[in-house]
Amino acid sequence: MLYLVRHGQTLWNTEARFQGQFDSPLTDLGRDQATRIGRALATEIGKRETPIRAYVSPLGRTRMTAQLIGQSLPMSIVEDRNLMEVHFGKWEGLTRDDILSRFGSDQAIRPIDWQFQAPEGETLDTVLARVSAWYSRAETPAVIVTHGIISRLVRGIYAGLGHEEMLTLPVSQDGYFRLDGGRIEFVPAP
């Protein structure tokens, strides 16, 4: 069983900035989301003799989310660079308006499109390859703390979805996805 968590809300989420592999701090709401997810996961998983394995992107927002979850659920953290968000190249830290003013109005700003690639950034095929490499060796049960697009790709790999279908999957910062027995279920964190 896998429990898939997107990091809590960040300052740049509230400003609609492309974070990619740059970082911004969790907001008060983001810290609250991570804390609530930790309590919900602890209730579902229950007491264990050993901490549950947690695969965590090494970016600050995911590490902080994992730390807050860990206040309720003992975890053995394994940082994995393959779980890092898409690298948005020259767009990282910018808003859509910033991108349009710096790169011109004809630049397509559609990261939820399989053909997307920001200048000097990663292609989704490259990202899918690294996420697939992680998935092929991941051990269960485990908690995964990662990012929006990576969450979509992990669920897409798990469900055997095509490229375009993966990118339409919902993401949330208010709960986690339980991947078990071929099913994917979103569990809200009250």
pLDDT digits (tens, 9 = 90+) for 62-112: 999 999 999 999 999 999 999 999 999 998 999 988 988 887 755 566 655
120 a catalytic residue = no
CATH domain 2-188 topology: Rossmann fold (3.40.50)
Separation CA 48–CA 91 (nearest Å):
43
With a cut of 70, say whether residue 51 has pLDDT above it: yes
pLDDT value for 111: 57
User: Which residues have C-beta within 8 Å of that of residue 36, sequence separation ≥ 6?
Assistant: 174, 189, 190
Would you kindly state where each structural domain of the chain is located, as residue ranges? Answer: 2-188
Catalytic-labelled residue, pool 15, 79, 85, 165: 85
pLDDT value for 110: 62
Tell me the torsion sign for CA atoms 77, 81, 83, 85. Answer: positive
Report the relative pairing of strands 142-146 and 52-56 from DSSP bridges: parallel
pLDDT value for 57: 98
The C-alpha R_g of the chain, in whole angstroms, comes to: 16
ω into 141 cis (within 30 of 0) = yes
At residue 53 the predicted structure's pLDDT band, cuts being 50, 70 and 90, is: very high
Place of tokens 């968000």: 85
Q: Which of 80, 93, 86 has the alpha carbon at shortest distance from 24?
A: 93
Average pLDDT, the chain: 93
Separation CA 122–CA 119 (nearest Å):
9
What's the CA angle centered on 101, arms 96 and 106, to 5 degrees? Answer: 80
How much of the chain exceeds pLDDT 70, in percent?
94
In single-letter form, the type of residue at position 56 comes to V
Tokens for 175, please give them.
């709960």
7 a catalytic residue = yes
Separation CA 2–CA 11 (nearest Å):
28
- Phi, psi dihedral angles at 76 (to 5 degrees): -100, 105
Tokens for 129, please give them.
């390859």
What pTM, to 2 d.p., does this model score?
0.93
Catalytic-labelled residue, pool 7, 87, 122, 147: 7
